[in-house]
Structure 1
Amino acid sequence: MSPRLAHADDATEDICKTIGQGISLHIDGTYGGYPFSVLREAVLGGVACPSSALQVQAFETIAAPPPHMRITVKRPLEQGRQGTISAMLYAQGRFVIGERMSLSFFSRTQSPSSVKADINLVTTNLWNDLAARVTHNKPIIPQ
């Protein structure tokens, strides 16, 4: 029996349970041929939840029913090649906000556990951008 390689998975994880009813997280992608379970653990270990007062305020406006987040990590098999991370947030059946960034040099050359910092950065940016909608009096869910 060979280990399952990282790819799209139909399972979801419940995260950020201390804020409202939490978030349903779907993880998919590939990470240089590593098993999906290793990628999954790295993503779960790096996800940032809303924490500042403005982030929580923005999140609470979309918290029921619990929103859905999709994080996709793509790193080619060839070590050192450019890879990407994207995080997209959906609520009430609609796209809310997304962030995308290139993997850091460290993440492009190391095992999946090294991607935790990149995951944390992309999800922190997502929450900061969502909170900025509150400060700019913009709708949390775009029209």
Structure 2
Amino acid sequence: MNVTIKREQANSAIQIARYGVIILSLVCMSSRLAQADDATDDICKTAGQGIRLHIDGTYGGYPFSVLREAVLGGVACPSGALQVQAFETIAAPPPHMRINVKRPLGQGRQGTISAMLYAQGRFVIGERMSLSSFSRTQSPSSVKADINLVTTNLWNDLAARVTHNKPIIPQ
């Protein structure tokens, strides 16, 4: 009899642990999804309905909010006639851009920036470059020029597809 009670208690403890892990997982996932929604910004509203921007990355131990402000301050929007023409072909529904900045801790350490554009559920184009030597040694605000360069290159490469009669969204 005593053994049966201990088995029932053990089974109950196992079930409580299982359900506890499931509930904890759901709570953690829902809070991460809410953070992801908060991390998107609408940019380039003068071009179509604009672009949904997602910012990821780290910048040498600085708070993410500082990096986010630097990225928002440096993003280039489509501006030339060919850039706008290329953008208009993918503007509905609004495309998504993901910018990722990685700068390890420590002065002078190499870092990277990547910008990827997605439209209509598909990858359109991406650019990647190393951080400039200035950005590798300064605060996150110094990365604005690098962000501007990588996004300008992205729009120029997208416009080149119009010039060469290539599809804007690769097949």
TM-score band (shorter)?
over 0.9
The alpha carbon displacement at 1:84 in A equals 0.1
The answer (yes or no) to whether the contact 1:32–1:77 under 8 Å persists in 2 is yes
> Cα deviations across residues 22-58 of structure 1 (Å, max 9, x unaligned)?
0000000000000000000000000000000000000
Distance change (3 Å), C-alpha of 1:77 and 1:8: farther
Identity %: 94
The alpha carbon displacement at 1:124 in A equals 0.0
The answer (yes or no) to whether the contact 1:7–1:30 under 8 Å persists in 2 is no
The answer (yes or no) to whether the contact 1:5–1:36 under 8 Å persists in 2 is no
Q: Which has the higher helix share?
A: 2
Q: Distance in 2 between matches of 1:82 and 1:88?
A: 20
Aligned residues between the structures: 143
Q: Distance in 2 between matches of 1:103 and 1:91?
A: 26
TM-score calculated relative to the size of structure 2:
0.78
The answer (yes or no) to whether the contact 1:89–1:95 under 8 Å persists in 2 is yes
* Structure 1 residues without counterparts, runs of 5 or longer: none
> Cα deviations across residues 83-105 of structure 1 (Å, max 9, x unaligned)?
00000000000000000000000
* Divergent runs of 4+, >4 A: 1-10
Distance change (3 Å), C-alpha of 1:5 and 1:70: same
The alpha carbon displacement at 1:3 in A equals 18
> Cα deviations across residues 51-78 of structure 1 (Å, max 9, x unaligned)?
0000000000000000000000000001
The answer (yes or no) to whether the contact 1:28–1:71 under 8 Å persists in 2 is yes
* Structure 2 residues without counterparts, runs of 5 or longer: 1-28
The alpha carbon displacement at 1:119 in A equals 0.1
TM-score calculated relative to the size of structure 1:
0.94
Q: Distance in 2 between matches of 1:33 and 1:7?
A: 20
Flag the structure with more relative contact order, 1 or 2, with Cα contacts below 8 A and sequence separation at least 6.
Answer: 1
Cα RMSD (Å) of the superposition?
A: 3.8
